[in-house]
Amino acid sequence: MRSLLLALAVVVVLTLISLLIGAGDLSLSALLSPQDGDRSAQILVVSRIPRTVALVLAGMAMAVAGLLMQMLTQNRFVEPSTAGTVESASLGLLVVTLFAPDMPVFGKMLVATGFALAGTALFLRILRLVPLRSVLTVPLVGIMLGGIISAVTTFFAYRFDLMQSLNAWTTGDFSGVLRGRYELLWVTFALTLLAYLAADRLTLAGMGRDFATNLGLHCRSIVSFGLVIVSMVTATVVVTVGMMPFLGLIVPNVASMLVGDNMRRALPWVAVMGAGLVLVCDVAGRVVYYPYEVPIGTIMGIVGSALFLVLLLKGRTRLA
Amino acid sequence: MTVSARFPRRMAALIAGTLALGFLTVGAHAQDLTIQHSKGVTSVPAKPKKVLAFDLASLDTLNALGVEVAGVPTARFPEYLAKYGSDKYQKVGTLFEPDYEAVNAAEPDLIIVGGRSSARYADLAKIAPTVDLTVDPKDVMGSVKRNVQLLGRIFDRQAEADARLAKLETSMADLRQETAKAGKGLLVLTTGGKMSAYGPGSRFGILHGEFGVVPAVEGLATTNHGQAVTAEFILKTNPDWLFVIDRDVVVGRDGGAAKKVLENELVAQTTAWKKGQVVFLDPVNWYLTGGGITALQASADQIAKAVAKK
């Protein structure tokens, strides 16, 4: 408990750093004694706070979604981007853009959620048909499925001159976040809370179908419940800020090393570390090329793959 | 090794030899012009009859010079080139992907590539004489001048070409006098809700270089997709003029998307926004036909009109 508070303190510090860094001029002294013509307060309210809140929400939600997926598939290598979920959500977004470009963001999110659900359900269905001789088969199946779905998406995006837009959705990027443009992410906060409330059941489901059923759990409905949460979270994040690779893979694995597989205990850790990692990567993206930005998707790809390699090499027995 | 295995190779050599001879005789034609372009030197027949234009800027210029082309790619044409959308003009693929079968069957006398189609030069050059008229972003006016005069020479329309160029240069000289005292400007392209800025030397650098708008920021990257920026960046830069290219319009999606991206509390604080000095550039002229004589004239006129009002 004490170490969790410590981690929380670190995230709070990161939040403050995130509030103070950006292209615009913002100084603490100006905030404390406002003068005419100074825009610090406005920048803080319109740009910095929304961006930081968006980072925390998206980071928490994506990490929790990763944990959920790993529970449901009983596999440590699965997360929304290795199970076709992200690709399906992107396909959904493309379909909306082609047929109803003026649809409000919430509608776009619902359509993307529908696609994400269908894609993830298809993934789970395939898993039941394929003989799983190795733990690596599961993410491989997911990556292949994702590859097929994104090939379809890319084809239509190419045909309709939407490649650049597709790229804008799939690369995580918070540079467009301003007041009034991220609020949808609060949906993910509600979903994260829901996941926490159902944590015990999800833990049981994570122990396997037979085991969970023996303990009197309606396995099917709890799996569907987890699936809906994962799909909605993924769709919301893709629609508002794009995708962040590796996040849902690394954070739950680190949390599991620290506190084990009890989801109710692991979930706060996952949420805090997810927010922290996203904050670090986004601040780095804002600093390395100041006053311009490197999208967080790129930074996360670099940091994430390095961390993932470390995890693989150090904790091989645990992961497998 | 049996004879049959070797046979195809010999046959191929024979065919290649015959083809080479064929090209040599074509090359020796008396009326041919030797054209120097960005991919090398090509021998082009004077006043070629059947022309395929894969470059919209060149199509624009040819259209302005009154030259008819036979085939064009399937593309979104600006209004002044709308007629090329009709079936009267043979469709020979897209800007990025020529339909080689169709090109071959058309037996063109000349193929023009440039910009997006420039990468297909080598393949098209095998079919017919091909010239690459890509505009060099580091020397926009220089290459536009060269291209317009070149097309004038090939199609014997030198007088028209010179007249058009002279008019454009006068417009630009006038414009430069106005922009020099108008204040600093920033060019932003929006796509899919994101913004990128382009400065001098970039693909839209002509705004500063030739049209004389004083850049609001120095040192923007000149990469093809510009420099990703935020609303905070625009507020900090605080340009007197904001020039906007809405890319989503070019691909026919989300009209007014640029406005939605820019209309926020931070950009509203800039001098450009407060004084109403935001110019939504014609995205087709800048994004698709940039480098064509009509497009350039229209761009110069649009900015001159906007700046003159103040």
CA distance A292 to chain B (A): 6
User: What long-range pairs does A133-140 form, CB within 8 A, spacing at least 24?
Assistant: A135/A75, A135/A76, A135/A77, A135/A320, A136/A77, A138/A73, A138/A75, A138/A77, A138/A78, A139/A75, A139/A77, A139/A78, A139/A82, A139/A83
Q: Closest Cα to residue A276, out of A55, A4, A69, A51?
A: A55
pLDDT at B141 over 90: no
Q: Does B259 touch chain A (CB under 8 A)?
A: no
pLDDT at B246 over 60: yes
Query: In this structure, are residues B96 and B117 in contact, taking their beta carbons and an 8 Å threshold?
Result: yes
Strand partners, B31: none
Residue B40 parent element (H or E): strand B40-45
Residue B185 parent element (H or E): strand B184-191
Interface test with B, best of A46, A184, A298, A299 (most B CBs within 10 A): A46
Q: Which 158-197 residues of chain B touch chain A by CB within 8 A?
A: 191-195
For residue A165, the chain B residues in CB contact (below 8 A) are 191-192, 248, 251, 253
Note the pLDDT of residue B160: 93
**Interchain pair A42, B265: CB under 8 A:** yes
Comparing A105-114, B5-14, B267-276, the range with the smallest average pLDDT is: B5-14
Share of chain B above pLDDT 90, in %: 47
Note the pLDDT of residue B25: 47
pLDDT, tens only, B88-113: 999 999 988 999 999 999 999 999 99
The stretch B157-173 carries a mean pLDDT of 93
For residue A102, the chain B residues in CB contact (below 8 A) are 254
Q: Closest Cα to residue A102, out of B201, B260, B51, B212?
A: B260
Q: Does B253 touch chain A (CB under 8 A)?
A: yes
DSSP annotation of A288 reads T
Q: Does B258 touch chain A (CB under 8 A)?
A: no
Average pLDDT, chain B: 85
Place of tokens 């708008």: B213
Classified as helix, coil or strand, A292 is coil
Phi/psi-derived region of residue B215, left when phi > 0, alpha when psi is between -120 and 50, beta in every other case = beta
Note the pLDDT of residue B24: 47
The tens place of each residue's pLDDT in chain A, 320 residues long, gives: 788 899 999 999 999 999 988 877 777 776 777 666 667 788 888 889 999 999 999 999 999 999 999 988 888 889 998 899 999 999 999 999 888 877 888 888 899 999 999 999 999 899 888 887 887 888 889 999 999 999 999 999 988 878 877 887 788 888 888 888 888 899 999 999 998 888 888 888 888 778 888 888 888 888 889 999 999 999 999 888 888 888 999 999 999 888 888 888 899 999 999 999 999 999 999 888 877 888 899 999 999 889 888 887 876 555 54
Interface test with A, best of B97, B220, B232 (most A CBs within 10 A): B232
In chain A, the residue whose alpha carbon lies closest to the alpha carbon of B76 is A161
Give the contacts of B235 (CB within 8 A, at least 6 positions apart).
A24, A39, A43, B266, B267, B269, B270
In this complex, the residue of B194, B221, B266 whose CB is nearest that of residue A46 is B266
Size of interface A-B (CB pairs under 8 A): 80
**Interchain pair B191, A165: CB under 8 A:** yes
Give the contacts of A248 (CB within 8 A, at least 6 positions apart).
A62, A63, A65, A66, A67, A69, A79, A80, A81
pLDDT at B286 over 50: yes
Residues B295, B115: Cα–Cα separation, whole Å:
15
pLDDT, tens only, B59-70: 999 999 999 999
Query: In this structure, are residues A283 and A14 in contact, taking their beta carbons and an 8 Å threshold?
Result: yes
A220: number of Cβ within 10 Å:
11
**Interchain pair A292, B236: CB under 8 A:** no
User: What long-range pairs does A138-144 form, CB within 8 A, spacing at least 24?
Assistant: A138/A73, A138/A75, A138/A77, A138/A78, A139/A75, A139/A77, A139/A78, A139/A82, A139/A83, A142/A78, A142/A82, A142/A83, A142/A84, A143/A82
Query: In this structure, are residues B48 and B110 in contact, taking their beta carbons and an 8 Å threshold?
Result: yes
ipTM value for the complex:
0.80
Note the pLDDT of residue B53: 95
Q: Is B54 exposed, middle or buried (0-12, 13-18, 19+ CB in 10 A)?
A: buried
A261: number of Cβ within 10 Å:
16
Query: In this structure, are residues B175 and B304 in contact, taking their beta carbons and an 8 Å threshold?
Result: yes
Whole-number Cα distances in Å, A98 to A87, A166, B252: 17, 12, 10
Q: Closest Cα to residue A62, out of A248, A291, A243?
A: A248
Note the pLDDT of residue B2: 45
In this complex, the residue of B192, B195, B221 whose CB is nearest that of residue A164 is B192
Residues B186, B189: Cα–Cα separation, whole Å:
10
Strand partners, B33: B44
Say how far residue A270 (Cα) sits from the centre of its chain: 11
Residues B97, B101: Cα–Cα separation, whole Å:
12
Note the pLDDT of residue B252: 62
Strand partners, B197: B188, B227
Q: Closest Cα to residue A222, out of A200, A243, A248, A254?
A: A200
CA distance A228 to chain B (A): 27
pLDDT at B27 over 50: no
Residues B184, B272: Cα–Cα separation, whole Å:
9
Q: Which two tokens stand for residue A300?
A: 């996360």
In this complex, the residue of B191, B227, B254 whose CB is nearest that of residue A101 is B254
Phi, psi of A181 (to 5 degrees): -125, 10
